[in-house]
Amino acid sequence: MDHTRPRHLTVLVVALLVLGALIMVLPLAWMVLTSLKTFPEILRNPAPWLPAAPQWQNYRTVWEGFAFYRFFLNSTFVAAMVIAGTVLTCCPAAYAFAYYDVRHKELLFGGLLCTLMLPAQVTVIPLFQAFAALHWVNTYLPLVLPAWLGGNVFGIFLLRQFFRTIPRSFIEAARLDGASEWSILWKLVVPMSVPAVLTVVIFTFLWSWNDLFNPLIYLHNEATYTLPVGLLYFIARAEQLTGGNAGQVPWHLVMTLATVMVAPVIVLFMFAQRRFVEGVAASGVKG
Amino acid sequence: MNRRAELLWFWLLAGPALAGFAVFNLWPMLDSLWLSFCQYDVVTAPRFIGLRNYVYLLKSDPAFWASVKVTLVFTAVQLPLSLAAALGVALLLNQPVRGRGFWRAVYFLPSILPQAASVAVFVYIFQSDGGLLNRLLALGGVAGPAWVSSPTWALPVVILISLWGFGYPMVIFLGGLQNVPRELYEAAHIDGADAWARFRHITLPQISPVIFFNLVMGVIGALKVFDLAYAFGAAQGLTPGGPARATLFYGLNLYQQAFTYFHMGLASAMAWLLFAVILLITWLNFRLGRRWVHYGD
């Protein structure tokens, strides 16, 4: 722009941004501060703003004492399996929909896209019934198996959009060189689409890591809990677990758990902020 | 590649996803439609009862209407506020400020955190004794209420908690704002239009497609709220939905009917009513979108 902006306007914009950002960060700061306090400090009314001495052992307490490492490993395992299944089935499906001319292809793709509108509440009851009949309740199969059958339709959509920007001549040339479709997909197309694949991996991780609905329905055995269910379970049984009095929730430990659960998401976000933003932007493109 | 090889490869590569579509979407969708006409408690086989689930829900189930009301109030209050916040921050971020990527990250971050954790943090902040909010209010001489355990305040608190995360619509607004042609602003500036006039007559019409998109996605998202509502109750060590059904969201009510009371047929009917509303909104989106929204020339 050729006209210069008045200086006071820039100051106002920055001031508003700082104020809003403080509101955004305050709950997280309070979470971390609380996680470093002692139980007596929590029970004092009012609790001190800062811990007298940071209680780093709270992290060891929840990790080992309340077997939170187990929930963490469960969540990690489920997320890893879901991500692997998503990449291994969504990439081929996106490739097939991007490059092959098959009759009724658009109809099939439209059908897939329609599932984005289908609420989980509609499918969950028959699926629960089926998984229960197979004795798969309290296993990770109900959480993981859909991902191994291309369950991430948004991922297929995003990958197909990206694959289509690769010039067809590349594919044709590889075919003339005698490369199989399978190796063209994994050795040419996917390596050329790393940003899109990463976006899909990141969103798949988020959905799996943050999911409360499905683990709540399929996991009823404490040893199988993932982090979100584990956290709520801890709160429900906190008095028993910590030997506190009725109504005295050990919020310092709850906040420790919350911090442990949130930390991987924040770290991932710091390294891959652009992928997050591009993924969201891509969902709005067709709007 | 000949046609037969192409067809073979298509089914080899897309087959798993299409099988998943059939097994995890198409079949359960049709089965739940059937179950919605049945009485079904998991233990005994489903028994066809016609429209009785639907009639019961619409005519005599108090929990159903309570949950409809909670969900509608939430949508009507939360959605305009969160879209206004998202647009406001997007407008700020669209200014030439330094460190734009950093600010965008700060405002986006809360939206991607696990709700079980963030709701637990807020439930602690909103505790009547020793909660951060009431302490801050006390500094100003105000005695805050018992937020989370009050039937009056519980839903407003849930709305406030959800307002922490407006990152998705914000990023989409930002994309829309960055697509507005610069020349339009330059021309308006030369014509002497003030900031409000430029916003009203250039920005708003130009970004109306993304406003509409965010609105539709927001309504559909609000109708499906579950994690937020469940975690709000569970983080207090209580049965989710309370106090006094004040936070009994539709999605939560459905879950409880199905998996707490094993009224699977009734819950299926609730699921299909929800699906019907979502289909209606999507249809309206296509029908009305063209009339209300400026898509350029």
pLDDT digits (tens, 9 = 90+) for A79-111: 999 999 999 999 999 999 999 988 888 899 998
Determine contact, residues B212/B289, Cβ cutoff 8 Å: yes
- Domain boundaries, position B123: 52-292
Interface test with A, best of B40, B95, B232 (most A CBs within 10 A): B95
Q: What per-residue confidence (pLDDT) applies to A130?
A: 93
Q: How far is A223 from chain B (nearest CA, A)?
A: 19
**pLDDT tens-digit readout, A201-212:** 999 999 999 999
Interval A163-194: pLDDT, tens: 999 988 888 899 999 889 999 999 999 999 99
- Rounded to 5°, the CA angle A27-A32-A35 comes to 120
Residue B295 confidence (pLDDT): 59
| Residue B231, pLDDT above cutoff 90 | yes
Determine the distance in angstroms separating the CA of B154 from the nearest CA of chain A, rounded to an integer: 18
Query: Across the interface, do A287 and B112 touch by the CB < 8 Å criterion?
Result: no
pLDDT at residue A286, as a whole number: 41
* Inter-chain residue contact A27 with B27, CB threshold 8 Å: no
Q: A96–B270: do the CB atoms touch at under 8 Å?
A: no
Residue B3, in any domain of the structure = no
A233: nearest Cα among A248, A249, A222 = A222
Task: Point out the residue among A3, A119, A151 whose CB comes nearest to the CB of B189.
Answer: A3
pLDDT digits (tens, 9 = 90+) for B15-54: 999 999 999 999 999 999 999 999 898 888 889 998 999 9
pLDDT > 70: what percent of chain A?
A: 94
Q: What is the CATH number of the domain that holds B140?
A: 1.10.3720.10
Residue of B205, B250, B207, B201 whose CA lies nearest to B225: B250
DSSP string, A113-126: HHTTTS-HHHHHHH
Contacts of B10 in chain A (CB under 8 A): 96, 100, 102, 105
pLDDT of A141 over the 60 cut: yes
- Give B296's contacts (C-beta < 8 A, 6+ positions apart): none
Separation between Cα atoms, residue B119 and residue B233, nearest integer Å: 9
A12-43 confidence digits (pLDDT tens): 888 999 999 999 999 999 999 999 998 888 88
Name which of A113-127, A209-223, B32-46, B125-139 the model is least confident about: B125-139
Using DSSP, state whether B38 is helix, strand or coil. Answer: strand
Instruction: Specify the CATH number of the domain A66-236.
Output: 1.10.3720.10
Contact B113 A121 (CB under 8 A): no
Residues of B in contact with A31 (CB under 8 A): 121
Q: How many Å lie between the alpha carbon of A240 and the closest alpha carbon of chain B?
A: 12
- Domain-wise residue ranges, chain A: 7-61, 66-236
Tokens of residue A115, six digits: 């599932």
> What pLDDT is stored for residue A2 in this prediction?
40
pLDDT digits (tens, 9 = 90+) for A213-239: 999 999 999 999 999 999 999 888 887
Q: What is the DSSP letter of A189?
A: I
Which pLDDT score, from 0 to 100, does residue B188 have? 85
- Domain total for chain B? 1
What is the reported pLDDT for B84?
Answer: 95
- Rounded to an integer, the average pLDDT of B138-150 is 84
pLDDT at A247: 67
Mutate to test the interface with B, among A90, A280, A283, A286 (most CBs of B within 10 A): A280
- What are the phi and psi torsion angles at B61 (to 5°)? -95, 105
What is the distance in angstroms between the CA of the first residue and the CA of the last residue of chain A? 28
Contacts of A64 (CB under 8 A, 6+ apart): none
pLDDT above 50: residue A64 = yes
Q: Please report whether residue B41 resides in a domain.
A: no
pLDDT at residue A186, as a whole number: 95
Domain assignment of residue B45, yes or no: no
User: Would you call A96 and B106 a contact, using CB atoms and an 8 Å cutoff?
Assistant: no
Q: Which residues of A touch B92 (CB under 8 A)?
A: 13, 16-17, 20
Q: How many CB pairs under 8 A join A and B?
A: 288
Token pair, residue B139, equals 């500094």
Q: What pLDDT is recorded for position A237?
A: 84
In this complex, do B16 and A146 lie within 8 Å of one another by their Cβ atoms? no
The reported pLDDT for the residue numbered A94 is: 95
The nearest CA of chain A is from the CA of B17 a distance in Å of 4
* Amino acid identity for residue A35 in this structure: S
What distance in Å separates the CA atoms of residue B165 and residue B163, rounded to the nearest whole number? 5
B-chain CB neighbours of A125 within 8 Å are 28, 32, 35, 258, 264, 267-268, 271
With H, G, I as helix, E, B as strand and everything else as coil, classify residue B253: helix
Q: What crossing angle do the helices spanning B167-178 and A273-285 adopt, rounded to 10°?
A: 70
Domain assignment of residue B16, yes or no: no
